[in-house]
Chains A and B, each alone.
Chain A
């Protein structure tokens, strides 16, 4: 079955510290992978996406993610976290073929301490 697992429900990071949010997927086909961010009570905003090519992708707001096929992972990283990064983060996977919808993980809530 296709699925996305975000093992960490809640993470707290000090401002200025580095961040890594984990994402593991189970998908039969070549996956398209995404990271979205959601502020409380708002819609989702795309941070970055991976289809093929370079396994390290850069996104907005200083985020990056690395695709590791052998580990079925697509972890999100940021070298230095800012207080404004506090939000909920969702990993999602989809297939290349048209007509399919994304499958989302359950999300990781990031808190930033001063």
Chain B
């Protein structure tokens, strides 16, 4: 089945360590997004990419990095510079071309810093 796969579902990280969250889609979508979700805060955009080898910062990009070497993959690295990394992270994708195209979401990854 087509969809977006995020892994791992749950991840624990020690302070000072970088961690990478995986996002893979087999929908042949051009655009991919990373959102962070905190209780009562809704979804906040971290990074997005409209095409391979190109990406843009969202509203809260500090302390995060991404790459888009392949169309189907958009991994997110949470670096030690991110002061409050504990959150629920959502990856999304859309066929692109217009905001009107439906955005599909993965099941999310829980990151806890211990």
* Complex Cα spacing A94 to B103, Å: 11
A84 at the interface (CB under 8 A from B): no
Q: Are A106 and B41 in contact (CB under 8 A)?
A: yes
B25 at the interface (CB under 8 A from A): no
Known: A9-B40, A90-B42. A102 touches B108 (CB 8 A): no
* Complex Cα spacing A41 to B6, Å: 13
> How many whole Å from B11's CB to the nearest CB in chain A?
14
Closest to B9 in A: A41
B90 at the interface (CB under 8 A from A): yes
A53 at the interface (CB under 8 A from B): no
Q: How big is chain B's contact interface, by range?
A: 20 to 34
0/1 per residue, A87-114, Cβ < 8 Å to B?
0001000111111111111110000000
Residues of B within 8 A of A106 (CB): 40-42
B53 at the interface (CB under 8 A from A): no
Residues of B within 8 A of A45 (CB): 105
Q: Are B102 and A101 in contact (CB under 8 A)?
A: no
Of the candidates B43, B48, B92, B103, the one having the most CB atoms from chain A within 10 angstroms of its own CB is: B43
Of the candidates B50, B99, B107, B108, the one having the most CB atoms from chain A within 10 angstroms of its own CB is: B99
B2 at the interface (CB under 8 A from A): no
Residues of A within 8 A of B90 (CB): 43-44
* Complex Cα spacing A74 to B108, Å: 27
Q: Are B40 and A98 in contact (CB under 8 A)?
A: no
